[in-house]
């Protein structure tokens, strides 16, 4: 199956709730994502086809506070749809990388960047076991603390980034595995997190990771 053709045909480009400056290929009830699952035994959760609370808060923040990213080289870690990287480019970032471990997320990010007429380098990689990238100024992390084991692998990597002089901003709707004792709240936003009942908003925040 041609993945990009499937996304273009079945996931319409729509404005993002709360972040209308960005438009994404988003799944709906008739998108037929199960066809991807049936065609690929390694198909995982299609988080890249939805909008999540932490990413919404982080995207809203960089657009409302463009000085946070202006002229900087940013990396959207666990990028999913690429929402945060795209928002950063629209806010004036010098360049943006969007990195994910899911090839479907990488394909969706490429298409979403094209739909928003911005340049984002989308690539498939797991960066968390290595040294901090030397070519970025700011790490943007949305919705990566939903699982305790994932949080335990993500946090040491982000701490290495801070120690190397890379700033870290995290967007999250206060999930249980969030290491709040290591974070400072920068801003708070009401967001519609995926899976919540329609129209219900929850509190999400943007955090900086303490040195």
Q: Where are the domains of the chain?
A: 3-209
Conformational region of residue 6, where left means phi above 0, alpha means psi within -120 to 50, and beta covers everything else: alpha
pLDDT digits (tens, 9 = 90+) for 90-101: 999 999 999 999
Q: Residues 185-189: what's their mean pLDDT?
A: 98
What pLDDT band is residue 79 in, cutting at 50, 70 and 90? very high
Cα–Cα distance measured from residue 155 to residue 81, given in angstroms and rounded to the nearest whole number: 22
Tell me the sheet residues that pair with 124. 100
State the greatest distance between any 2 C-alpha atoms of the chain, in Å, as a whole number: 46
The pLDDT confidence band at residue 153, using thresholds 50, 70 and 90, is very high
Distance CA 101, CA 59 (A): 20
What is the CB neighbour count within 10 angstroms for residue 204?
29
The answer to whether residue 30 scores a pLDDT higher than 90 is no
Mean pLDDT of the region 53-72: 98
Query: In the structure, what pLDDT confidence band is assigned to residue 16 with cuts at 50, 70 and 90?
Result: very high
Residue range 107-121: mean pLDDT, rounded: 98
Q: Which fold has domain 3-209?
A: Rossmann fold (3.40.50)
pLDDT higher than 70, residue 84: yes
**What's the mean per-residue pLDDT of the chain?**
94
Q: For residues 148 and 159, give the distance between their C-alpha atoms in angstroms, rounded to a whole number.
A: 17
Query: Coil, helix or strand for 132?
Result: coil
* 200-205 mean pLDDT: 93
Q: How far is it, in rounded angstroms, from Cα 77 to Cα 129?
A: 13
Least confident interval from 78-82, 94-98, 190-194: 190-194
């Amino acid at each position: 199956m041609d993945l990009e053709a499937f996304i273009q045909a079945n996931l319409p480009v729509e404005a993002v709730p709360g972040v209308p400056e960005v438009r994404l290929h988003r799944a709906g009830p008739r998108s037929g994502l199960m066809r991807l699952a049936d065609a690929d035994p390694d198909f995982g959760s299609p988080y890249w086809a939805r909008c999540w609370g932490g990413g919404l808060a982080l995207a809203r923040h960089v657009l409302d506070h463009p000085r946070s990213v202006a002229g900087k080289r940013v990396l959207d870690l666990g990028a999913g749809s690429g929402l945060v990287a795209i928002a950063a480019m629209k806010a004036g970032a010098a360049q943006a990388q969007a990195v994910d471990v899911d090839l479907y997320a990488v394909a969706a990010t490429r298409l979403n960047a094209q739909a928003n007429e911005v340049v984002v380098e989308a690539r498939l990689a797991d960066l968390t076991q290595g040294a901090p990238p030397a070519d970025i100024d700011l790490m943007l992390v949305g919705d990566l603390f939903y699982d305790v084991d994932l949080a335990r692998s993500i946090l040491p990597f982000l701490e290495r980034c801070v120690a190397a002089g890379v700033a870290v901003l995290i967007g999250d709707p206060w999930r249980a595995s969030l290491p709040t004792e290591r974070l400072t709240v920068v801003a708070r936003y009401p967001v519609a997190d995926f899976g919540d009942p329609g129209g219900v908003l929850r509190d999400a925040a943007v955090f900086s990771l303490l040195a």
